[in-house]
Structure 1
Amino acid sequence: MKIFIAGATGAVGSRLVSPLVAAGHEVTGTSRSEAGARRVDAAGGHGVVMDGRDAASIRRAVLDAQPDVVVHQLTSLSAGFDFKRFDEVFAVTNELRTRGTDALIAAAHEAGTERIVVQSYTGWPNERTGGPVKTEADPLDAHPVPAAANTLAAIAHAERATVAAGGLALRFGSFYGPGQSLGEGGEMLEAVRKRQVPIVGGGAGVWSFCHIDDAASATIAAITRGDAGVYNIVDDEPATVSVWLPELARAIGAKAPLRVPAWIARSLIGDFGVAWMTTARGSSNAKAKAQLGWTPRYASWREGFRTGLGTR
């Protein structure tokens, strides 16, 4: 098949080119720069420069490629992480999830593309009431914290547009592993080493994790399997912050995390950070296992934190 990867030098996209080429597919991968396009070439694909915020650039790249499958992995997450300025940090990514998604779907339709697979996210966007673990049938948060409202709206838009176009939206859990913030040398992992990531309140927020290589394998599965719809791509063990954070510290040889009351943490990480640490809900991967035939290599973050944080 001819496969077009928008964002082929990003966290997930960079892990797709080589295995897809090895499987016999013709892969076109985009980057914002000539240097990135050359990295796609080196991986066996055909690298092209594309501006994911420019509909004309997207249309030209897709029509030139005439792909059977379009995979949307466009993000812009190099600005660091700030709970209090969440929407500001994700502003460009949100544009890629809205205008970028719309432009990719329109170009794919014009090119006669049969399938589209789009990156989404699960975890804090889940409704923060009811049981601790949500499925794809459960609603997103109807009352998001204002600091993340635009980001949630962009996620919801990407999912709606994708499913309406007959595509698959993959809701990835929180990434960890090589090259990630929660990976060796990454910003979040180093903050845990320095005891700068505390357990807030009772630490009752539930997180669902996804090793970066499992995100890639799920994407490859979705290229050929599964009906149109939304799929949670997470491991088998959603866990509260009070459980996973001390285990992560132990796995990397750091001191146990501090405990901070929510009212103190709010001044440091804002309402959104407190909500994620105390009221977030996890996600079930049962649908992805059943319909995509996908199983995570790291079934639990426990194993992943011990053996999967290092370099590729």
Structure 2
Amino acid sequence: MNAIQSTATGPQPLLITGAHGTLGRAFQRVCEVRNLHTVCLNREELDIADPVAVELALQRYNPWAIVNAAGYVRVDEAENDAAVCYRVNTTGPKVLAEACAHRDIQLLTFSSDLVFDGQQSVPYTEDDAKRPLNVYGRSKSLAERDVLTTLPQALVVRTSAFFGPWDEYNFVHYALQAMRGGRVFEAAADLQISPTYVPDLVNTALDLLIDEECGIWHIANRGTCTWAQLAQMASEAAGLNTALVRPRPAAEFRWPAPRPAFSALSSGRGIVLPTVEDGLGRYLHDIGAEECSLRGEALREAS
């Protein structure tokens, strides 16, 4: 038995880091629906790259597993902010893996399609060679190596271009917002991706964690498209004017971080999700339901 004594009482929770981010919020929602007890900590409450802070959190909450939804996500800013990016994306997951190995608990952490160089013309599977082109991709690639070396039973999920109904920080939201305002929306026409609907991603990843799966898994909706095509599909699904989407070569955006021309994902491990089009349809339905719920809450508070 581990010599460290827990100060927690009651059922063991699932500890979620990065509580205020897209994935952190999504895990909280999904776990609530699935009646899973959670403890959710934001970056101010838990610095995942600080071993002492992590150990204290594990002593306090005694979780059965950790979902690491924290991350440095600003791909272009990472080029000039590499130290911070590596600290959050590489050191943090390694520290969590070390703590989980010490206590023999599970860890789920997330990686990216940007670990690949884009030289393939068919979707990447879990066993394809990694050759990241930018700082962000290298931070994720190193994290994969360090986490699985430290904790072979860890679950590492690679995903791509995710969009969801519970926050506004995603490409599809920005595209629809522009077109609903009658504004032209410019998007790259020569970068192939696998868009992923966040509820599909979170539910599938949670299933794998509960089933005690380990290693690297790809989770993305079926289908490959460019960013411009994704904007056009979203516009069409929402009944908007698709002519407002203006496809442009990626080079014209002059992004500091190079991107792979092709980074679509598929799984060689049996993961099959609905299509991107299906995900977009559910996204539009779910954001409508979310808006109705928020309006109802506002009316109840005002009464």
Q: Say yes or no: TM over 0.5.
A: yes
Determine the structure 1 residue equivalent to 2:297: none
d(CA) in 1 for partners of 2:177 and 2:79? 23
One-letter amino acid matched to 2:144: E
Task: Report how far residue 117 of structure 1 moved.
Answer: 0.9
Determine the structure 1 residue equivalent to 2:224: 238
Determine the structure 1 residue equivalent to 2:92: 100
5+ long unaligned stretches in structure 2: 1-11, 291-303
1:195 aligns with 2:184: yes
Determine the structure 1 residue equivalent to 2:26: 15
Q: Secondary structure of 2:162's match?
A: strand
Deviations 1:81-105 (A, max 9, x none): 675x453478645422212112212
Paired residues, what number?
269
Higher CA-based Rg:
2
Determine the structure 1 residue equivalent to 2:294: none
Determine the structure 2 residue equivalent to 1:136: 126
One-letter amino acid matched to 2:276: W
2:235 aligned to which of 223, 242, 249: 249
Determine the structure 1 residue equivalent to 2:6: none
Task: Report how far residue 191 of structure 1 moved.
Answer: 4.8
1:182 aligns with 2:173: no
Equivalent residues of 2:46, 2:57 under 8 A apart: yes
One-letter amino acid matched to 1:151: Y
Please give the TM-score of this superposition, normalised by the length of structure 1.
Answer: 0.74
Task: Report how far residue 192 of structure 1 moved.
Answer: 5.9
One-letter amino acid matched to 1:117: L
One-letter amino acid matched to 2:177: E
Deviations 1:185-227 (A, max 9, x none): x44543566323234xxx3422101111112102211222253
CA distance 1:128–1:255, shift in 2 (3 Å): same
Equivalent residues of 1:182, 1:189 under 8 A apart: no
d(CA) in 1 for partners of 2:120 and 2:209? 33
Please give the TM-score of this superposition, normalised by the length of structure 2.
Answer: 0.76
User: Aligned-residue CA RMSD in angstroms?
Assistant: 2.9
Equivalent residues of 2:79, 2:257 under 8 A apart: no
5+ long unaligned stretches in structure 1: 34-48, 290-294
d(CA) in 2 for partners of 1:137 and 1:304? 26
